[in-house]
Chains A and B, each alone.
Chain A
Amino acid sequence: MKRFFEPSYTTWLHRANPALKLILFVALFVMTMFVHHIDASFYLACAFLLLLFVCSGYPLWKTALLTAGFALVFVSASLTMILFGKGAEIWWSFGPIHISKESFYRGLHLGFRSIAFGCQGLLFVLTSSSTGLFYALMQRLKLSPKYAYSFMASIRLLPMVGEELRIRREALAVRGAGGSSGLGGLLRLPERYALPLLAQSIRRAQRTAAAMEVKRFDAGRRRTYYYPSPVTANDAAALLLLAAAVAAAFLLARNLPVFGLGDMRMDP
């Protein structure tokens, strides 16, 4: 799995400071959330899909594999709104289902937007490492080391939880208590799985944390870091790249509209 998530080449986005990149992508998310025109959301989805293929640093087939799920996301984001959204110009109705012109295009707009969100999120995730992000947050945004090291340590504890879950499942099967189906078995799931896993993990977390406290992982901010996390020209390049993608999408939406519809909300 780790091999799979190793980029084969790096771009400006990989070399940019992860903390600043996080701010950039959160801003991008908020900006996308305030896009209410279907043309803009359509072109945003296209622009970031293109950027994802060019800049994620992964071979074409891998990126295609990762984006294949977006088809399902598109359907699930748009379907409820298409079938049950408010609208005046009814095209088709059956029982509680009313497909109107407004709800149909609003649903498509939500679908395009969710693809844009997905591409942005994937672009961030594929170009950053978790460790790099926390080192950058400590150094650039003054995140307290106790939070950063706790989050980083939790990643290391995860495989043990998975292993315990597997052992627990097999132990219950051996004792003939695992496969009870139906509502009764369902309701006993928390007691059978959550309780032993939580008890084990909390105890382990306490031991780990005690060791980390003794080793002064929670000491103050006057410290040095194993991985430096500087701000470089790559950050400016990443900013310009993302801004260019957004600007291109908005310009295309204005000059080359596909749908030519107004605000997608009922009463904006």
Chain B
Amino acid sequence: MSTQISGAGARRKGLTLTDVLVTVVVSLVLGVVYHVWSSVYSLVSVLFVQSDELVYGMWFAASTLAFLLIRKPGVALIAEIAAAHLEIAFGSAYGIQLLLYSVVQGLGAELVFAAFRYRKSSAFVAGLAGIGAAAGSLLIDIYYGYVEDYATWLLIAKYAMRAVSSFVIAGYLMYALAKLLERAGVTQSLRPVDRKEYDALND
């Protein structure tokens, strides 16, 4: 009996192999869906300059969705790294670069979730985490693309669009998807068991 309880305790805290594999796979599936979606991306990018930023939030979607499903510290970062790993595994020339981007973006999202002590999993918090990831990408863009030397209107337009798209796609869209998955019944076995559910057993 006591081993049962310590097992449950261990499940609540650290990441298990199941958590890691599910996170990686969520990121991978979103990657595949993204490639279907990329027809939209190319459609949008001809609209006006930098308008491809409007779907940029898709790059951060895996990290917030993984957190909304599993609700443990670290999964947002792993989901971002998994996306970069996919690029490396399939011979992208920009794998190393995406790896560094993914680490900083994942940390940006993790910081937001950590600010809410990993307790809140609303669409709004997920949206904020998306913005956190976008802020991470801006940090590297400054070194990588000298974006601060763009004309000021362009700089503001580019990152405002990126922030809005991150908020909507990584926040509200992924929240809706997580709700749909909840209804489909795939999430019960993923989440750590709440204390109040243990208490309910004693009642």
Contact = CB atoms under 8 A, between A and B. Distances in A.
Interface stretch (A113-121, A227-235, A249-257): A113-121
B42 interface: no
Looking at chain B's contact residues, the main secondary structure is helix
B36 A193 contact: yes
A66 B91 CA distance: 10
* Best-surrounded residue of B82, B96, B150 (most CB of chain A within 10 A): B96
A91 interface: no
Interface in A39-86: 66, 69-70, 77, 80-81, 84-86
Contacts of B114: none
A228 to B, nearest CB: 22
A85 B151 contact: yes
B37 interface: yes
Contacts of B95: 121, 124-125
A150 interface: yes
Looking at chain A's contact residues, the main secondary structure is helix
A14 interface: no
Given A126-B91, A265-B149, A210 B184 contact: no
B181 A195 contact: yes
A158 B88 CA distance: 14
A202 interface: yes
Q: What class of interface size applies to chain A in its complex with B?
A: 35 or more
A158 B28 contact: yes
Nearest to A203: B186
A212 B32 contact: no
Contact of B97 (A5, A29, A162, A266): A29
Interface stretch (B104-112, B121-129, B140-148): B140-148
Contacts of A259: none
Given A5-B91, A154-B21, A202-B186, A96 B100 contact: no
Given A81-B150, A117-B94, A161 B18 contact: no
B115 interface: no
Contact of B96 (A29, A85, A195): A29
Contacts of A190: 33, 173, 176-177
A210 B186 contact: no
A118 B149 contact: no
Interface string A163-184: 0010000000000000000000
A199 B186 contact: yes
A98 to B, nearest CB: 7
A199 B151 contact: no
A119 B94 CA distance: 9
A212 B28 CA distance: 19
Interface in B154-199: 154, 173, 176-177, 180-181, 184, 186, 189-190
10 contacts: A98-B151, A117-B93, A117-B94, A124-B96, A150-B24, A151-B24, A161-B32, A190-B176, A202-B25, A202-B26
